[in-house]
């Protein structure tokens, strides 16, 4: 489902369910547990990567359809994970190994640095094409990351190839192959990890504070719903 290791102060979380890295209750809980390990290991940075060809294609559809309460439960679990990553105690680098769609795109956008590999991949919020709405928490995260007019792709459900996804705000940098992705992600994690922790936290708080406030307000509203 996912693997964890910590080397030279950098924690590595590798998503790999052997398929499309679907996000369900178990996989979300596993990522949270591995973030706990990174905290215990006092990691200076974290790298989250996917498997070859896919970062995450979104929610686990079989779990979504398993019972009436499943969609709301999964949505809330994802919101909590995204908020945790967006405000985590150390920098998090996303190494996007391929497709990143729907909930997978939200996970990607929450990282401090997002590096993707070029290829025949799709990135974006495709929920609208499936007749599914996006939570206001995810919309605020997208608003923080995505410039206009690409931000409104969440309304139309458009997706992007990696180089276009960089322009649209999903990625900071695109590389040509997996080996380069590994090197660039590690380099970014090490560079961010060298920033004094108090400075990193203060500047991130100033930059993201208003967005985090709105995201937390929307999370509280959703949690209060029956």
Residue-wise pLDDT tens digits, 130-139: 888 899 999 9
Domains of the chain (ranges plus CATH)? 2-180+196-224 (3.90.226.10)
- Give the pLDDT of residue 226: 59
What is the maximum span of the chain, computed from C-alpha positions, in angstroms? 47
The sign of the torsion formed by the CA atoms of 31, 200, 124, 79 equals: positive
pLDDT at site 218? 87
Taking residues 145-170, report their average pLDDT: 97
Q: Distance between CA atoms of 57 and 108, rounded to whole angstroms?
A: 11
pTM score, two decimals? 0.95
Q: Cis bond leading into 33, ω under 30°?
A: no
> And the tokens for 13?
């979380």
Percentage of the chain beyond pLDDT 70 is 98
Each residue's pLDDT tens digit, 25-61? 999 999 999 999 999 999 999 999 999 999 999 999 8
CB atoms within 10 A of CB 158: 17
Angle between helices 70-86 and 136-145 (to 10 degrees): 30
The band of 171, judged by pLDDT with boundaries at 50, 70 and 90, is: very high
């Amino acid at each position: 489902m996912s693997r964890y290791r910590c080397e030279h102060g950098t924690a590595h979380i590798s998503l790999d369910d052997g398929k499309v890295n679907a996000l369900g209750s178990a996989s979300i809980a596993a990522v949270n547990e591995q973030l706990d390990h990174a905290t215990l290991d006092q990691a200076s940075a974290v790298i989250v990567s996917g498997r070859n060809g896919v970062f995450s294609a979104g929610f686990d559809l079989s779990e979504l359809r398993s019972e009436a309460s499943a969609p709301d439960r999964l949505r809330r679990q994802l919101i909590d994970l995204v908020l945790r990553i967006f405000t985590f105690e150390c920098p998090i680098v996303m190494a996007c190994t391929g497709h990143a769609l729907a909930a997978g795109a939200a996970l990607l956008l929450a990282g401090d640095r997002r590096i993707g590999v070029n290829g025949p991949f799709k990135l974006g919020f495709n929920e609208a094409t499936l007749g599914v709405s996006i939570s206001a928490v995810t919309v605020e995260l997208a608003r923080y990351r995505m410039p206009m007019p690409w931000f409104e792709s969440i309304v139309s459900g458009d997706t992007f190839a990696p180089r276009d996804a960089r322009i649209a705000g999903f990625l900071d940098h695109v590389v040509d192959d997996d080996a380069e992705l590994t090197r660039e992600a590690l380099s970014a994690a090490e560079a961010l990890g060298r920033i004094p922790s108090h400075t990193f936290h203060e500047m991130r708080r100033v930059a993201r504070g208003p967005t985090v406030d709105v995201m937390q307000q929307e999370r509280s509203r959703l949690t209060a719903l029956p």
